Chain A
Amino acid sequence: MDIHETINGLIQELRRGTIIIGVLSQLTEPQYGYSLVSVLEQKGIAVDPGTLYPLLRRLEKQGLLESKWDTNESRPRKYYLISEDGAQVYMQLCQEWSAMKASLDSLIKGDDDHGAN
């Protein structure tokens, strides 16, 4: 297999888990799917709408998000907002992420002279 393909596959795998943190972080204000895609993209997190829309539904089903249809505008849109449970999960995930980042950084930088650099 081409090395670039391998790299792309691995990057996608890495991103998969972080997308959920990204999504939860932005939903303290109600947003609909496509506006969330643009917001995340502006902040450097590229998400495929075909991935995000099913993900939003799944998170709603898990009770992390609440949703409401807005039919006042020209096209009806489903707005998502983080739930109480979701906020708690988000906090926990953030802590986990910081710890993971710190551990990985120490591995990569090799502060005990055993790292790759």
Chain B
Amino acid sequence: MELIERYIYAVTLKLHEKQRSEIEQELRGLIEDMLEDHLQGREATQKDVEEVLAALGEPGELADKYRGYKRYLIGPELFPLYLTVMKVVLASVGIAMLVVFCIEAFLDHTQVLHSFVDTLVTLISACFQAFAWVTIAFGFAEFAGGRKDLLRKQNAWKPADLPLLPDHRSQIKRSDPIASIVFTILFAVLLTFAIDMFGVWRFQSEGARSVVPFFNEAVFRSFLPYIIALLGLTLIKDSIKLITGKWTIKLLSFDLLITALHLVLALFMFSDTAIWNADFMAQMTQAGLTPIGSEEHQFVSEFWNFATANMLYIMALILVFGMVSPVIRMYRLKK
């Protein structure tokens, strides 16, 4: 009667260990009783056993009834959001990798095949990573959410707990955080892997390309951890925007805080001109782009000096301007 043991195993496998042995014994007794009833004194055949087990139903369903609830890694409530976030994250990773690949191929066509294979391998592993992290995060949310439901039941629900009707002034379009997530990831990838490509590009006739970089790579890299951390915060903000779908005072404060942090980082990065490529003008001249004495040299040099000296103010202006809209929104929400 191996089938019976297999059936019992299949049911108890999905149950809590504490209940297992007793349910096992109970089930064995039940199946024997059912079989006896079915046989009416005959010898049991394989077919009889199969009929009895079929009558008892699918082991998974029986286990669900014993447990009293269904088990999910990500339950039906969270699943639609899980799919959306997964699509956005995987698409962002894909786009970022594609951009990096294009830049690499553009810079050096002799290695296109090699870098294509490289990109493919990195893409697959990056997608697996992204998939795993999103799934882990949602699995954790499901687990925590289950607990929260239990807590909520202890406090009686009141009509005042009802969520407010969506106000068009506080609604967030889904495309807004999605676009921001894509660009944030793209920006993070570019800054991490291709900072030397921010510069003036020079195309030579043989197909080789040279770049006169804007930044002093070593100095810039020393800021990279802070930049990545800040981009990470931005990703968290965008995820919250995507999930809640509406502006709240808290979310707006978080938004303002992140902008303020950008401002602080800009202050540290650009208050000193060390971050800029000190030899920029010399390299430009050497590359033959701005011969000394020419009008171009004059113009580019003036522009370069102005930009590097005033970048902090330019950034501050842009960031402060970016704070206007959330402040107005906050003011309206408070009313």
Question: In the complex, are the beta carbons of A49 and B34 less than 8 A apart?
Answer: yes
The binding surface of chain A is classed by DSSP as helix
Interface string of A48-88 (1 = CB under 8 A from B): 11110111011000000000000000011110000000000
- Show the binding face of B for A, using Cβ within 8 Å: 19, 22-23, 25-30, 32-34, 37, 56-57, 61-62, 65-66, 68
Q: What chain A residues lie within 8 Å of B34 (beta carbons)? A: 34, 49
Question: In the complex, are the beta carbons of B68 and A58 less than 8 A apart?
Answer: yes
Known: A34-B34, A48-B57, A49-B34. A54 touches B65 (CB 8 A): yes
| Closest-CB distance, A83 to chain B (whole angstroms) | 18
Q: What chain B residues lie within 8 Å of A49 (beta carbons)? A: 30, 34, 56
Question: In the complex, are the beta carbons of A57 and B57 less than 8 A apart?
Answer: no
Q: Which of A51, A58, A78 contacts B26 (CB 8 A)?
A: A78
| Closest-CB distance, B15 to chain A (whole angstroms) | 10
Q: Which of B22, B28, B29 contacts A32 (CB 8 A)?
A: B29
Residue of B nearest to A75 (CB): B29
Residue of B nearest to A61 (CB): B68
Q: What chain B residues lie within 8 Å of A34 (beta carbons)? A: 29-30, 33-34, 37
| Closest-CB distance, B37 to chain A (whole angstroms) | 8
Q: In the bound complex, what is the Cα–Cα distance between A76 and B32 (angstroms)?
A: 11
Residue of B nearest to A56 (CB): B26
Can you name 19 extra interface pairs (CB under 8 A) apart from A50-B62, A54-B62, A57-B19? A33-B29, A34-B29, A48-B57, A49-B30, A49-B34, A50-B56, A50-B57, A50-B65, A53-B27, A53-B30, A57-B23, A58-B68, A75-B28, A75-B32, A75-B33, A76-B29, A77-B29, A78-B22, A78-B26
Task: Give chain A's interface residue range (CB within 8 Å of chain B).
Answer: 10 to 19
Of the listed residues B22, B28, B37, B65, the one surrounded by the most CB atoms of chain A closer than 10 A to its CB is B65
Q: In the bound complex, what is the Cα–Cα distance between A50 and B65 (angstroms)?
A: 8
Interface string of A1-36 (1 = CB under 8 A from B): 000000000000000000000000000000011100
Q: In the bound complex, what is the Cα–Cα distance between A74 and B65 (angstroms)?
A: 28
Question: In the complex, are the beta carbons of B66 and A57 less than 8 A apart?
Answer: yes
Q: What chain B residues lie within 8 Å of A55 (beta carbons)? A: 65
| Closest-CB distance, A117 to chain B (whole angstroms) | 38
Q: What chain B residues lie within 8 Å of A48 (beta carbons)? A: 57
| Closest-CB distance, A107 to chain B (whole angstroms) | 30
Q: Which of A38, A51, A76 contacts B25 (CB 8 A)?
A: A76
Residue of B nearest to A38 (CB): B37
Question: In the complex, are the beta carbons of B25 and A54 less than 8 A apart?
Answer: no
Residue of B nearest to A48 (CB): B57
Of the listed residues A32, A38, A49, A76, the one surrounded by the most CB atoms of chain B closer than 10 A to its CB is A49
| Closest-CB distance, A116 to chain B (whole angstroms) | 35
| Closest-CB distance, B242 to chain A (whole angstroms) | 36
Q: What chain A residues lie within 8 Å of B56 (beta carbons)? A: 49-50
Q: What chain B residues lie within 8 Å of A75 (beta carbons)? A: 28-29, 32-33
| Closest-CB distance, B52 to chain A (whole angstroms) | 10
Q: In the bound complex, what is the Cα–Cα distance between A54 and B66 (angstroms)?
A: 5
